[in-house]
């Protein structure tokens, strides 16, 4: 029997994402000037106020206020009527030194024996459903908001958009788990107060359906374009006007959008957030490592869909266990337990090995903090820190290294494919 599955996304201007982006900008700046930095930084944003808190062990000294303001400015909170504005918001820093009790469990004389920064379990997932091996509903939800942000910055076809927005996509699947059509699209976007309430709502709905949707659809392959039928139910700003938004509308906190950040509810999640954590925290690094494993397994033809779990004890390098679930889609004559043992042999899952394999000690994290950490484009860019100052530093960074298909041949060889 056909079934429905839904995923959501939130924009870079959503208050929780504002917090995530500030926390990850701090991580990048610490790593740019001291690659050995240990950081766990949380951010709270509300009306006219930013609060930074956390633990740091680093030789770098940062102007955290300047970093936070630049992030807020880049997102688009640059007008006083937003009640949260880059130049005028208050910024309180309560960042202090990392506990030596925690650090002693991580640092080792032999770096290869570096312990996990915390206990816990992390999951990675991949599916053949899309070109980037991501669940389709989440991929479309992200694309809607990326395009909406592009329209906002262009300020031509649509001129009333503000930074805060959310999307949601519901897809109907067939009995054999193939997407048949898009059932429902939900878009809530913050906007200027530009007309009477009903007139604004009508205009926004018309623009979302006639401008945003066609732009997103045009970027997709024909088989995905075919999912956009005239039977889609649209809910556009379903509560009515959405003028008050961003941190003024809702308080934002680092780490509250972990399902948006990963697989949109597909697979599983260990519960640990990513943003604001340096890669010694396996909440982040092992989640990236398991995505890398899952994507390479599917790309190599081991299975059509897979969930990979790894777990750790704090201060211990060797994982407690590795688990694999292929959902019955395995193409090899091995059960999931046997596949898991081969995965352990192919991929070194000690924290230091993950950091080295995925180049995680580079300032690569600000780009992950909006529109998902998984399914993104692997590319090399040059990032500039403290631009125009005496301490200006340029760093060449490879982004989203866990999205590389660099282990496909090794996987094929190990599985005899």
250 is in an annotated binding site: yes
The tokens describing 253, both together, are 């906190």
Element (H, E) at 399: strand 393-399
Distances (CA, A) of 89 to 95, 166, 192: 18, 24, 20
Q: How far is CA 202 from CA 197, 210, 231, in A?
A: 9, 12, 19
State phi, psi for 281 to the nearest 5 degrees. -85, 110
Q: Is 165 annotated as a binding residue?
A: yes
Q: Of 56, 143, 53, which Cα lies nearest the Cα of 93?
A: 53
CA nearest neighbour of 249 among 15, 13, 16:
15
CA distances to 178, 183, 185, 213, 265 from 232, rounded to whole Å, are 18, 5, 7, 11, 22
Bridge pairing between strands 161-173 and 179-191: antiparallel
β-strand 321-325 against 393-399: which pairing, if any?
Answer: unpaired
Q: Determine whether the annotation assigns residue 191 to a binding site.
A: no
8 is in an annotated binding site: no
Residue 154's SS3 state is: helix
Q: Is 25 annotated as a binding residue?
A: no
Sheet strands (E) in 160-222: 161-173, 179-191
Instruction: Report how far residue 347's alpha carbon sits from residue 161's, in angstroms, rounded to the nearest whole number.
Output: 45
Residue 164 labeled ligand binder = yes
* Of 286, 274, 258, nearest in space to 115 by CA: 286
* Annotated binding-site residue? 394: no
Instruction: Give the SS3 label for residue 307.
Output: strand
Determine if residue 16 is labeled as part of a ligand binding site.
Answer: yes
Identify whether the C-beta of residue 365 lies closer than 8 Å to the C-beta of residue 136.
no
First to last CA, the chain: 33
Instruction: Judge whether 295 and 405 are in contact, CB under 8 Å.
Output: yes
* CA 310/CA 210 separation, integer angstroms: 45
Is 55 annotated in some ligand binding site?
A: yes
Walk across the sheet containing 49-57 and list its strands.
90-97, 49-57, 38-46, 252-253
- Determine if residue 241 is labeled as part of a ligand binding site: yes
As annotated, the binding site for Mg(2+) includes 16
As annotated, the binding site for L-methionine includes 55, 98, 250, 281
As annotated, the binding site for K(+) includes 42
As annotated, the binding site includes 14, 16, 42, 55, 98, 164-166, 241-242, 250, 256-257, 273, 277, 281
As annotated, the binding site for ATP includes 14, 164-166, 241-242, 250, 256-257, 273, 277
């Amino acid at each position: 029997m056909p079934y429905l599955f839904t995923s959501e996304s939130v924009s870079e201007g959503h208050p929780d994402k504002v917090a995530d982006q500030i926390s990850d900008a701090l991580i990048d700046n610490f790593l740019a000037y001291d690659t050995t930095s240990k950081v766990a930084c949380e951010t709270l944003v509300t009306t006219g106020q930013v609060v930074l808190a956390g633990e740091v062990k680093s030789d770098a000294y940062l102007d955290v206020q300047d970093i936070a303001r630049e992030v807020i400015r880049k997102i688009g909170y640059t007008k006083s009527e937003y009640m949260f504005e880059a130049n005028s918001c208050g910024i309180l820093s309560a960042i202090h030194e990392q506990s030596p009790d925690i650090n002693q469990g991580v640092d080792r004389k032999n770096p290869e024996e570096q312990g996990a920064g915390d206990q816990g379990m992390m999951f990675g997932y991949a599916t053949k459903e899309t070109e980037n091996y991501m669940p389709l509903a989440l991929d479309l939800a992200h694309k809607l908001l990326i395009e909406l942000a592009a329209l906002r910055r262009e300020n031509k076809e649509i001129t009333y958009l503000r930074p805060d927005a959310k999307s949601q996509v519901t897809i109907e699947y067939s009995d054999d788990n193939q997407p048949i059509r898009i059932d429902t699209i939900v878009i809530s976007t913050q906007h200027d107060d530009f007309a009477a309430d009903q007139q604004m709502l009508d205009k926004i709905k018309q623009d979302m359906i006639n401008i945003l949707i066609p732009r997103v659809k045009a970027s997709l392959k024909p088989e995905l374009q075919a999912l956009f039928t005239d039977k889609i139910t649209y809910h556009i700003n379903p509560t009515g006007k959405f003028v008050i938004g961003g941190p003024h509308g809702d308080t934002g906190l680092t780490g509250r959008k972990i399902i948006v950040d990963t697989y949109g509810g597909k697979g599983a999640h260990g519960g640990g957030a990513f943003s604001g954590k340096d890669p010694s925290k396996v909440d982040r690094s092992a989640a990236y490592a398991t995505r890398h494993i899952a994507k390479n397994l599917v790309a190599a033809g081991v299975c059509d869909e897979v969930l990979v779990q790894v777990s750790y004890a704090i201060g211990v390098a060797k994982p407690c266990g590795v688990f694999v679930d292929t959902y019955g889609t395995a193409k090899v004559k091995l059960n999931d337990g046997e596949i898991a043992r081969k995965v352990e042999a192919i991929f070194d899952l000690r924290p230091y090995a993950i950091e080295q394999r995925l180049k995680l000690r580079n300032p690569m994290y600000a780009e992950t903090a909006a529109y998902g950490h998984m399914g993104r484009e692997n590319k090399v860019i040059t990032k500039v820190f403290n631009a125009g100052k005496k301490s200006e530093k340029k760093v060449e960074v490879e982004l989203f290294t866990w999205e590389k298909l660099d282990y496909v041949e090794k996987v094929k060889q190990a599985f005899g494919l």
